[in-house]
Chains A and B, each alone.
Chain A
């Protein structure tokens, strides 16, 4: 062996040894890091990977609202919020790693922002005493607070979303009974989230007499939907319903425009954002569900601009503040902050822990007065959570893309509670039964204050 090669090999060995030493050293310091004074709120975000397009505005919105509370009010109830972002890349492995990394620092709440990460965390929540806020995603059945005391998914489940969409389509046709004999297409992300509504959708197809056409989009093929839309062109469904996420949304909108599908008959669940649709010719008329305001015309959003964005504390571009998914992040943080505030109110403590925030979340009562007090009057409908109802099943409205921005085009529409409730109860019972030994709720219920 030559001298040169020896040198390389030795250097590489030294590097390996160094790396090993670093690994051991770091593992021990990971736990002690960032034990600062305040309520610790980790944010699981994804600013990298195929879902970053949706993940970045949400992350910015969540972060900026809580930062604004820190800057403007010095936190919540006089206690600073210690923020910490953990990058998941929408990957379950990394999400679990994030959870284990933050668990030691006593988080009061976790927001997984991925159904895949939410599912493994659900059984852990009651053991680790850390409530999970999976805002309008995750396991629909976790809306049942009596079975899932530690999991919250307000303001709507995916089944509620489907009920709202069908009710809206019914309105367009002049009555839900007019759906008889119609054809409705369903293009969906072929994973847990997109598949969840199918049994209910099929049930509704039977009840209302419409024909349901399924167009699954495999997770690996989100950006290649030409075959699905070819089938759409052949089948000519009167309406298209979409449950998509990440790169699937812009692709679907582009493909629909390409085959000249009438956009005003294309209704999506609440996940597309402006960036998914902007710049697509022929996307005008596209519709989606939403439950909160867009823009910065609310005092709290103005405060974010004043205290966070203008001071350079935000990672978002100035013009992105107030966009749809940014405000979705703000809504998420509104619930976090309200959960903490209610927890402080109930317990009288300032430094609340996960168990207190769980009680706080069960006592969330965002009525008109409270929203006004928070500077968010008119931002969203009221929301009241109880011990049994961890979701709210709130009404939502339909908005339409006018070529440059979203325009609200409907009044709030109620979900179909009569159809959703049995499915929800059955799913929750089923979950508890299949996970034999699922703990009975022992957490006492607070009287509404």
Chain B
């Protein structure tokens, strides 16, 4: 009734090919952005901002990175956490070498370091596919994690073996370090994530994205059509690692504040892979939904008994939460094997013909 495109006429090809062709979608997006940029920082409390929103956004960015590789190009990777680590350690080294340069510049620059490392580890993807590629990226995960723990130069020879985010400013306001308020950290993370999502959206809807999807669907056919596999696959690895690297730098500098090598373990790679699979392969909005489901849901479940006044021990809640999240993941996947993004799409389709379905 409310959600349909009747009466919205397209008068140009550009309007017809827009990412959001329906006006209601554009309004919805504006509402979401307004909520994220204005309402949440204005009304959200500290816990909600720093323990719910910032982590979810950071993981969503990493999930977008992995989605570019796995969802759009069809190359499965288990090295996500390691590439996030590359970004984090690169950002640490860069900002300790040149403390005068704005931290945002270094966060983005560390993405390029990660992109380079990612492209290196992407080289085997030209010869191997599927499970064999998984093993190659697994090697990247273990090798890089080993480097984080064993090369003291990476941590500036700290005896604790950890990297600490020093205090850095943006427009005179601290955004990293202990003095940064959750609001300022949240806005910086949100700004970076929103910009990079916009960029990714343009990328996957353009020539590059179509090349990726062609390779994903059948690489021999893509090659016959004139798509060069070498550049396409390596570009996918580079862009994916760029996103993961930036998300890793955001994670350490604007969320954790300090990190040990154990932060970037394989479990984190799996976590992000689950976010991508449950959110929906080959969908940007799915990356956000997957991150929200996997990261927010356990927090909500943990808070639920206390909020309702049910006295349950913290450990029991933890066990219950494992069970419930596990069951929910299975339920969602049975309801829609293509992930939450497809569920969302189906829902919108239903809404268009509501209340008179045929």
Contacts and interface: CB of A to CB of B under 8 A. Distances in A.
Given A13-B343, A104-B46, A196-B161, A48 B319 contact: yes
B254 to A, nearest CB: 12
Given A31-B45, A120-B258, A191-B261, A10 B350 contact: yes
A237 B315 CA distance: 41
Interface residues of A, number: 64
Interface in A87-144: 87, 89, 92-93, 96-97, 100-101, 103-104, 115-116, 119-120, 122-124, 126-128, 139-141
Interface stretch (A359-367, A377-385, A386-394, A427-435): A427-435
Contacts of B44: 27
B256 interface: yes
Contacts, number: 166
Interface string A8-38: 1111110010010011011111110110000
Contact of B156 (A30, A126, A219, A434): A434
A195 B48 CA distance: 35
B315 A29 contact: no
Contacts of B336: 9, 12
A435 B164 CA distance: 7
Interface in A40-56: 45, 47-48
A100 B161 contact: no
A74 interface: no
Contact of B343 (A9, A128, A435): A9
Contacts of B51: 96-97, 100-101
B314 to A, nearest CB: 4
Interface in B39-74: 44-48, 50-52, 55
Nearest to A3: B357
Given A12-B335, A120-B258, A437-B167, A22 B304 contact: yes
19 contacts: A10-B347, A12-B331, A26-B300, A30-B47, A31-B45, A48-B315, A85-B315, A87-B314, A96-B51, A97-B51, A101-B47, A116-B262, A119-B164, A124-B257, A192-B161, A192-B162, A430-B159, A434-B164, A437-B167
Interface of A: 6, 8-13, 16, 19, 22-23, 25-31, 33-34, 45, 47-48, 85-87, 89, 92-93, 96-97, 100-101, 103-104, 115-116, 119-120, 122-124, 126-128, 139-141, 190-192, 195-196, 199, 219-220, 315, 427, 430-431, 434-437
A427 B266 CA distance: 31
Contacts of A436: 99, 166-167
A103 to B, nearest CB: 7
Contacts of A219: 262, 265
A29 B266 CA distance: 34
A123 B350 contact: no
B261 A124 contact: no
A119 B304 contact: no
Interface of chain A: mostly helix, strand, loop or mixed: helix
B260 A191 contact: yes
A191 B262 contact: yes
A47 B55 contact: no
Interface in B191-250: none
Interface of B: 44-48, 50-52, 55, 96, 99, 149, 156, 158-162, 164, 166-167, 177-179, 255-263, 265-266, 296-297, 299-300, 302-304, 306-307, 313-315, 317-319, 331-332, 335-336, 340, 343, 346-347, 350, 357
Contact of A104 (B47, B259, B299): B47
Given A9-B343, A30-B307, A431-B158, 8 more contacts: A11-B335, A26-B304, A104-B47, A123-B164, A192-B161, A192-B260, A315-B313, A434-B156
B48 A47 contact: no
Contacts of A120: 256-259
A434 B45 contact: no
A27 B161 contact: no
B159 A427 contact: yes
B166 A92 contact: no
Contact of B161 (A6, A87, A195): A195
A44 B153 CA distance: 33
B322 to A, nearest CB: 8
